[in-house]
Amino acid sequence: MRDHNERVVLSLLRQHGSLAKTAIARMSGLSAQTSSIIMRMLEADELLIREEPLRGRIGQPMIPMALNPEGAFFFGFKIGRRSADLVLIDFLGRIRSMRHTPYDYLAPAPIFRIAAEGMRDMLAELTPKQRERVAGIGIAAPFELWKWADAVGAPQEVLDQWRDCDIRARIQELCSFPAYLQNDMTAACGAELVFGQTKDINDFVYFYIGSFIGGGIVINGSLYPGRSGNAGALGSMPVFGNDGTARQLIDMASITGLERVVTTLGRDPSPLWASPDDWGQMGPELDEWIDTAGKAIAQAVVASASVVDFEAAIIDGWMPEDVRARVVEAVQKHINTFRLEGLSLPSILAGTVGIHARSLGAASLPLADRFLLGQKIFRKEI
């Protein structure tokens, strides 16, 4: 664990990439001496590295300091309703190793076997020194996994096994480093906050389209998890379907809905889960799904904006970039058809993390807990 001032320095360097000691002192409010001492300690701990001196100025050249990619490593484990992802990232948030495992539905025993075997194999690829610097594993999983059995085509008796399953404790039994747990969509929102290109946006509502759609909320530059950790449960938001009946967003803008259509047409839906970068050839069914999803998400954006004056609504998901771009366009198109008196609409933006937002968000949990301050601190310009 790092003390407060060390976290200030590490957080500022995560935000800015590299800084000289004088800049760290100015931005943090620490004295030049204190800043210098902290940076020497962090360098000795191999959490910081020196970059090339900046020459061409009067006096001694300035030496920028940056995070050492080898300073620490973190696992992120995403448990999804149709696939699991295990990633290993370095101190800069770069993916060093990844394992993706699709399945028809999730049951506890296979999930924990995937985690155990994946961590074993990835750790074996590291040097002894790198293994010592693995600082934790974060888990991103939907809460109440036993629900929506019909929607995912899973036997209820299998999903019921999750009712009394302590996911964090089970994963903790598999490793010697700390394990953390967060709702998967909140984790995805956290990934956009920590690793995404959103540092100039202080307040945003976030939508992630996966098997089911969900989301998260960032207020004043910090992730807002809510009382039970389920804030931003946007999939449960009431919206109107194309026939005018009241539905939930989860029914209108989830990939499982597109899967049902593809299956009904007699085609193989497996690329939707196995190949998020390329869904192959799709025709009118994809066009219709994008329009339906866009209209439903537009309703959710307008409803959210009536409660919180968000700067942006960010849309990401388990889908090819061109499909995501079309969803963003559809949302904007349908928002323009609503009555908007009294509202200041947020900008509609595509996410910048992409398909691995949930697993990267999971990996950010030990990173933030052990090395950083709250996002508000290390995101704002001082």
Of 80 and 136, more confident: 136
Cα separation, 313 vs 163, in Å, equals 33
pLDDT one-digit tens code per residue, 15-70: 888 888 888 888 888 888 888 899 999 999 999 999 877 665 655 557 888 999 99
Q: For 212, what's the count of Cα atoms within 13 Å in the CB-facing half-sphere? A: 26
Fold annotation for 4-68: Arc Repressor Mutant, subunit A (1.10.10)
Record the pTM: 0.86
Query: Which residue, 68, 90, 69, 74, is CA-closest to 134?
Result: 74
Question: What superfamily in CATH does domain 197-352 come from?
Answer: ATPase, nucleotide binding domain (3.30.420.40)
Same topology between domain 4-68 and domain 197-352: no
User: Which range (165-169, 269-273, 362-366) has the least confidence?
Assistant: 269-273
Query: Which residue, 20, 24, 22, 23, is CA-closest to 5?
Result: 24
Q: At what angle do helices 4-16 and 32-44 cross, to 10 degrees?
A: 80
Q: Are 172 and 202 in contact (CB under 8 A)?
A: no
Report which secondary-structure segment, H or E, holds 34.
helix 32-44
Cα separation, 11 vs 82, in Å, equals 35
Domain borders along the chain are: 4-68, 73-188+359-378, 197-352
For the chain, the distance separating the N- and C-terminal CA atoms, rounded to the nearest angstrom, is 24
Q: Which of 120-124, 253-257, 375-379 has the highest mean pLDDT?
A: 120-124
pLDDT one-digit tens code per residue, 150-195: 666 678 888 888 998 999 999 999 999 999 999 899 999 999 988 8
CATH 3.10.150.10 fits 73-188+359-378, yes or no: no
Pairing of β 134-141 and β 73-79: parallel
Cα separation, 325 vs 101, in Å, equals 26
> What does the angle CA 262 – CA 265 – CA 266 come to, to the nearest 5 degrees?
95
Q: Taking the CB of residue 31, how many other CB atoms lie within 10 A of it?
A: 10
Of 9 and 152, more confident: 9
What Å distances lie between residue 6 and 37, 42, 73, CA to CA? 10, 8, 18
Cα separation, 83 vs 184, in Å, equals 13
pLDDT one-digit tens code per residue, 199-244: 789 899 999 999 899 999 999 888 888 887 778 889 999 999 888 8
